């Protein structure tokens, strides 16, 4: 009944005595490694089969395998500018002239740009296949249009005289600057990526920029890893669903929303998110039925794992391969980790802030490292706008508001029930073990969160 309690949680009294084999609490780094190892072991034993999805629906998914370019990008050599496609040999600097040493010097001794007149060929719009470029001619070419055979450079229209195109079909001449090197303003076929080259490595998270490349390569479907399936359970029979009226002593469930939203934003699929009653026997029965029915990759609970007199998760899983231990972190000290019927299990504490911090510190990094999604949080250094204190022997995670000027404002104090303060923060401030006082202006590491 204190599983998820008002405000959800029971982490206050875990003194760490269960954190065998050492006598003290486990370090944050050691528990991070343990959570990642739990997931790694599961996915090594249960390698997920790839699924193929439309590129338009693949945002946030993880590439199942390397993608090689099916063709050149660009597919053909084309112009980088609106201008004239030329043979650079036709525009060689006249004998005796070179940049900075010109035979044609003006009255003040400064070089005058040498110009060469060529006959104009037919326009080359993008999407057309031009005839070969005859020597001594220049073909009006649009950006992205195919370069004609023989052409090896492009002169931008604004460098020409006249500096606009003649109407299509008009025969004429154009004056072009001399000394254009071969390759100028030419995009070679395959210069972005060559056919057969590695475009994106397996394990890449597909964001906008990666989806754009797949589309540019002509791919409309892509093989991705399946989403990690998470069975999410919230404990506490004093806990009511949002939208339901509260009786005396009852509270609304925030943890399910916090964890489901966090998991979904991290690319996982939440199979069930249920508030379970506080009887250990009923909890275990339902949990095992859900595991059998849903085949999750992970069971995640919040609440009921500390050392109160009513700890449903802890009591229900006393016989399972689960350890309940203390991590030297505040909030989020009490943690459960192990397997239930062979499936990875994590038990987070019941306070909303504690469960959110547990997700950000343990589960999210493990998902990122093992499954490839989500992308790791951005971590930056920031200057505190006010002093902070932290308890000895704890890695304290405070909530804060990171500002574009590189400062971070702590919000809400250390209390793990403060959801309003949590909702006004965008950063988690780390105060590692060994640091008990930080002055205003001190540099701290912050994780930027949504």
Q: Is 3 in the site for a copy of itself (CB under 8 A)?
A: yes
We find the least distance from the C-beta atom of residue 88 to a copy of itself, in angstroms, to be 18
Q: Is 241 in the site for a copy of itself (CB under 8 A)?
A: yes
Q: Is 394 in the site for a copy of itself (CB under 8 A)?
A: no
Q: What is the 3-state secondary structure (H, E, C) of the chain?
A: CCCCCCCCCCCCCCCCCCCCCCCCCECHHHHHHHHHHHHHHHHHHCCCCCEEEEHHHCCCCEECCCEECCCCECCCCEECCCEEEECHHHHCCCCCCECCECCCECCCCCECCCEEEEEECCCECCCCCCCCCCCCEEEEECCCCECCCCCCEEEEHHHCECCCCCCCCCCCEEEEECCCCCCCCEECCCCCECCCCEEECCCCECCHHHHHHHHHCCCCEEEECCCCEEEEEEECCCEECCCCCCCCCCEECCHHHHHHHHHHHCCCEEEEEEEECCCHHHHHHHHHHHHHHHCCCEEEEECCCCCCCCCHHHHHCCCCEEEEEEECEECCCEEEEEEECCEEEEEECCCHHHHHHHHHHHHHHHHHHHHCCCCCCCEEEEEECCCEECCCCCEEEEEEEECCCCEEEECCCCCCCCHHHHHCCCEEEEECCCCCEECCCCEEEEEECC
Q: Is 279 in the site for a copy of itself (CB under 8 A)?
A: no
Q: Is 179 in the site for a copy of itself (CB under 8 A)?
A: no
Q: Is 397 in the site for a copy of itself (CB under 8 A)?
A: no
Q: Is 108 in the site for a copy of itself (CB under 8 A)?
A: no
Among 26, 31, 260, 394, binds a copy of itself (CB under 8 A): 260
Q: Is 238 in the site for a copy of itself (CB under 8 A)?
A: yes
Q: Is 81 in the site for a copy of itself (CB under 8 A)?
A: yes
Q: Is 156 in the site for a copy of itself (CB under 8 A)?
A: yes
Q: Is 307 in the site for a copy of itself (CB under 8 A)?
A: yes
Stretch that binds a copy of itself, among 109-117, 175-183, 378-386, 430-438 (CB under 8 A): 378-386
Among 39, 200, 317, 368, binds a copy of itself (CB under 8 A): 200
Q: Is 361 in the site for a copy of itself (CB under 8 A)?
A: no
Among 25, 280, 296, 308, binds a copy of itself (CB under 8 A): 308
Q: Is 265 in the site for a copy of itself (CB under 8 A)?
A: yes
Q: Is 313 in the site for a copy of itself (CB under 8 A)?
A: no
Q: Is 52 in the site for a copy of itself (CB under 8 A)?
A: no
Among 28, 36, 55, 287, binds a copy of itself (CB under 8 A): 55
We find the least distance from the C-beta atom of residue 310 to a copy of itself, in angstroms, to be 5
Q: Is 364 in the site for a copy of itself (CB under 8 A)?
A: no
């Amino acid at each position: 009944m204190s599983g998820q309690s008002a405000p959800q949680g029971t982490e206050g009294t875990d003194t760490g005595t269960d954190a065998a084999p050492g006598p003290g609490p486990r370090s944050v780094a050691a528990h991070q490694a343990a959570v990642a190892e739990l997931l790694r072991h599961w996915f090594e034993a249960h390698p997920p089969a790839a699924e193929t999805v439309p590129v338009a629906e693949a945002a946030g998914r993880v590439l199942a395998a390397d993608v090689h370019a099916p063709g050149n990008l660009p597919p053909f050599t084309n112009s980088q500018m609106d201008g004239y496609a030329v043979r650079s040999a036709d525009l060689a600097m006249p004998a005796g002239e070179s940049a900075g040493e010109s035979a044609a010097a003006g009255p003040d001794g400064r070089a005058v740009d040498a110009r060469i007149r060529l006959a104009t060929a037919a326009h080359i719009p993008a999407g057309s296949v031009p005839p070969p470029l005859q020597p001594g001619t220049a073909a009006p070419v649009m950006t992205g249009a195919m370069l004609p055979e023989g052409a090896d450079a492009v002169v931008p229209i604004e460098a020409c005289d006249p500096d606009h195109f003649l109407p299509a079909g008009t025969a004429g001449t154009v004056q072009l600057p001399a000394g254009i090197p071969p390759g100028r303003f030419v995009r070679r076929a395959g210069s972005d990526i060559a056919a057969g080259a590695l475009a994106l490595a397996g394990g890449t998270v597909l964001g906008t920029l990666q989806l754009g490349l797949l589309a540019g390569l002509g791919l409309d479907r892509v093989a991705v890893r399946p989403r990690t399936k998470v069975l999410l359970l919230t404990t506490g029979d004093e806990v009511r669903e949002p939208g339901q009226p509260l009786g005396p002593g009852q509270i609304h469930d925030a943890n399910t929303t916090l964890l489901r939203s966090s998991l979904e934003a991290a690319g996982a699929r939440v199979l069930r998110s249920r508030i379970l009653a506080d009887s250990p026997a009923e909890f275990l029965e339902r949990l095992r039925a859900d595991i059998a029915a849903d085949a999750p990759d992970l069971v995640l609970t919040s609440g009921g794992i500390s050392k109160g007199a009513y700890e449903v998760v802890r009591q229900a899983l006393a016989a399972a391969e689960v350890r309940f231990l203390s991590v030297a972190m505040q909030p989020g000290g009490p943690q459960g980790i192990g397997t239930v019927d062979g499936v990875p299990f994590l038990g987070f504490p019941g306070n909303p802030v504690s469960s959110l911090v547990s997700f950000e510190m343990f589960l999210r990094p493990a998902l990122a490292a093992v499954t490839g999604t989500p992308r790791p949080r951005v971590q930056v250094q920031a200057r505190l706008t006010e002093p902070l204190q932290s308890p000895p022997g704890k890695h304290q995670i405070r909530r804060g508001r990171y500002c574009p000027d590189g400062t971070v404002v702590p919000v809400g104090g250390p209390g793990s029930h403060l959801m309003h303060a949590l909702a006004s923060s965008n950063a988690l401030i780390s105060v590692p073990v060994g640091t008990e006082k930080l002055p205003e202006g001190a540099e701290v590491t912050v994780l930027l969160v949504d």
